[in-house]
Amino acid sequence: METQVINSVAPFCLIQLFQKKGLFENSYILNITSQEGRFDQDIKGPTHPHNNMSKASFNMITKTIGYSFRKRYSTQVISIDPGWINSMVGATKMGLLEYSDAVARIIQPLVDNTNYTAQLLRHFKVTDKW
């Protein structure tokens, strides 16, 4: 339940609160998602359904409010999958990202001035693999 509150309920409540306070003019909502949030896979494994559900909710928020927020507030709502991050001390698995690389992927929309409204970015590129 904690995962749902952190990744689904809290972002939704914050968006509503910021919207009521008028804090969305010319800004960004960056929803950090992951492979677990993908809908395009026919089979999802039986492990970690709470993660799958919570990350998928980020993607649904992006798709649901993205275009209306762009039109109404000039705010981009974007889902970003930075990839697997090396978050464990001593981890040696190949292909894991360092924090600096993950941060670069997350802030890309803020620095390159491209309209990514209601889209998913993975590996610095727009993808349709939701």
Task: State pLDDT tens for residues 14-52.
Answer: 999 999 998 888 999 999 998 888 878 777 778 888 888
Rounded to the nearest angstrom, the gap between the alpha carbon of residue 81 and the centroid of all alpha carbons in its chain is 6
In this prediction, residue 18 carries a pLDDT of 93
Task: State pLDDT tens for residues 50-96.
Answer: 888 989 998 999 999 999 999 999 999 999 999 888 765 555 666 78
Cα–Cα distance for residue pair 106/32, rounded to 1 Å: 8
Tokens of 20: 């009521």
Q: What is the CATH classification number for the domain harbouring 80?
A: 3.40.50.720
For residue 108, the enclosing domain spans 2-127
Q: Taking residues 103-130, report their average pLDDT.
A: 91
| Tally of domains in the chain | 1
In this prediction, residue 41 carries a pLDDT of 76
What is the DSSP track for 64-109? HHHHHHHHHHS-EEEEEE---B--STT---TTPBPHHHHHHHHHHH
- Banded pLDDT at 12 (limits 50, 70, 90): very high
What's the pTM value of the predicted model, to 2 decimals?
A: 0.85
Residue with tokens 């339940």: 1
In this prediction, residue 16 carries a pLDDT of 94
Cα–Cα distance for residue pair 122/81, rounded to 1 Å: 5
Estimate the crossing angle of helix 49-73 against helix 10-20, to 10 degrees: 10
